[in-house]
Homo-oligomer: A and B are copies of this chain.
Amino acid sequence: MTKAVLPESLMPTHWYNLAADFPEPMPPHLHPGTGEPLAPEDMTPLFATGLVEQEFSRERYIEIPEPVRDIYRLWRPSPLARAPRLERALGTSARIYFKNESVSPIGSHKPNTSIAQAYYNRVDGITKLTTETGAGQWGASLAFAGQFFDQEVEVWQVRASYDSKPYRRMLMHVYGATVHPSPSDLTEAGRAMLAKDPDTPGSLGMAVSEAIEVAVGTEGARYSLGSVLNHVMLHQTIIGQEAIRQLEMFGEDAGPDIVIGCAGGGSNLAGLSFPFIGANIRGETAARILAVEPARCPSLTKGEYRYDHGDVAGLTPLLKMHTLGRDFVPDPIHAGGLRYHAMAPMVSHAVETGLMEARSITQEEAFAAGILFARTEGTVPAPESNHAIAAAVAEARRHTGEPGSGPVILIGLSGNGFLDLPAYDQFL
């Protein structure tokens, strides 16, 4: 068997909520004005009722609504494959597997949550969603999701990416979304920013402010976020739940020895690893969980664990997380999805309480690993995924016995690199 493909009938019917199983409860989100624990009603102006419930939920399993599963089935369950050619190239005794989220129509894991978010907003009668995007993965995923649930989608894309990375903007247009470079002259925040610096390349923080301003000021509109918050982590857990069943199909009933995911905001890593962390807590498995981030944006490995805002302007709730400070501006590395100043509170809490480890990888290591992966297993990985692959390569190289006799390494392949080829070109 090369890859384990679950039939649709075995696709998970529930998301898994790690908040139910944390041995120590997570610190609450705090109200930015009062500093008191946030109440659900503080979030409902911006987020759908169903999503706010999930943000605060301690329920272990939350049913995936059938209309969401219906769209998931366009590409899910996603395959989990053994990587025998990569193993041979490394001369490792490890058995390496990868969970392949690159097969979604967008080419990444992001639609797992964009579909759910568009659905819950339609349930509330919302007809328009606004969001920000950097390189465009998240904006494209929300544009894709909006069309299934009658949501007009309006995206503010960081000006520098809008100008230099036109393909994902074009993808958003194909799905019928409106895309503006940010800062724009459509919002007060944007006009103020442009007045200060007409040639600014923009930033995610500024784009967030514009998207929120328009959502708040438009009847029937809300804002949508692609990572960081608890409900986003929740939606991604379908990844790890499928992976558990697929490893069993390979006869790996003891589960993986190590689970490795790349981490920017944290949603891909959480989606892959939280079901395994749950199994660890229940004593069913004893997998090491490894979060891998870029050396140039090292929130988990170099950041402080404290309350901070999710955006530059300080409009979001205060979240307890590993942060480099909301003013931190990362170098323009190629892994656009890993350029965030902080880490999701759930992932941060998992690291802080010893449920997960973290390490960082340089761009050079990451791309070298990605090219090795493409030349052995065929798929060109997203630059973000390359960080997880590089950490797996380093791990596998430590095990040099009889082929197949070593540990089981599971990699999260969060996406493909079709629209990131210029980054590879620059590396080569």
Residue pair B176, A74 in contact (C-beta under 8 Å): no
Which of B1, B81, B377, B424 sits near A173, CB closer than 8 Å?
B424
Residue pair B8, A5 in contact (C-beta under 8 Å): yes
- A70, A71, A375 pick with most chain B CB within 10 angstroms: A375
Interface majority SS on A: helix, strand, loop or mixed? helix
Which of B2, B107, B376 sits near A418, CB closer than 8 Å?
B107
- The yes or no answer to A330 lying at the interface (CB within 8 A) is no
With both chains docked as a complex, state the minimum distance between the C-beta of A416 and any C-beta of chain B, in angstroms: 8
Closest B-chain residue to A249, C-beta based?
Answer: B7
26 A–B contacts from the bound complex (CB under 8 Å): A2-B70, A2-B73, A3-B73, A5-B5, A5-B8, A71-B378, A74-B81, A74-B377, A74-B378, A75-B378, A85-B148, A105-B416, A107-B418, A144-B378, A148-B378, A166-B421, A167-B167, A167-B418, A167-B421, A171-B418, A173-B425, A174-B374, A174-B375, A174-B380, A176-B375, A418-B419
- The yes or no answer to A175 lying at the interface (CB within 8 A) is yes
List residues of A (251-283) whose CB comes within 8 Å of B's CBs: none
Residue pair A170, B425 in contact (C-beta under 8 Å): yes
Please give, as numbers and ranges, the residues of chain B lying within 8 Å of A148 by CB-CB distance: 85, 378
Given the known interface contacts A74-B81, A379-B105, the answer about A1 and B5 at a Cβ–Cβ threshold of 8 Å is no
With both chains docked as a complex, state the minimum distance between the C-beta of A374 and any C-beta of chain B, in angstroms: 5
Which of B7, B70, B85, B421 sits near A170, CB closer than 8 Å?
B421
Please give, as numbers and ranges, the residues of chain B lying within 8 Å of A144 by CB-CB distance: 378
- The yes or no answer to A358 lying at the interface (CB within 8 A) is no
List residues of A (110-151) whose CB comes within 8 Å of B's CBs: 144, 147-148
A interface bracket (residues with beta carbon within 8 Å of B): 35 or more
With both chains docked as a complex, state the minimum distance between the C-beta of A110 and any C-beta of chain B, in angstroms: 13
Residue pair A421, B174 in contact (C-beta under 8 Å): yes
Please give, as numbers and ranges, the residues of chain B lying within 8 Å of A376 by CB-CB distance: 147
Query: Besides the contacts A2-B8, A173-B428, what 10 more A-B pairs have beta carbons closer than 8 Å?
Result: A74-B377, A74-B379, A75-B378, A105-B378, A105-B379, A167-B167, A167-B422, A170-B422, A173-B424, A174-B371
Tell me, in angstroms, the Cα distance from A424 to B175 when the chains sit together. Answer: 11
Please give, as numbers and ranges, the residues of chain B lying within 8 Å of A1 by CB-CB distance: 8
Tell me, in angstroms, the Cα distance from A376 to B71 when the chains sit together. Answer: 10
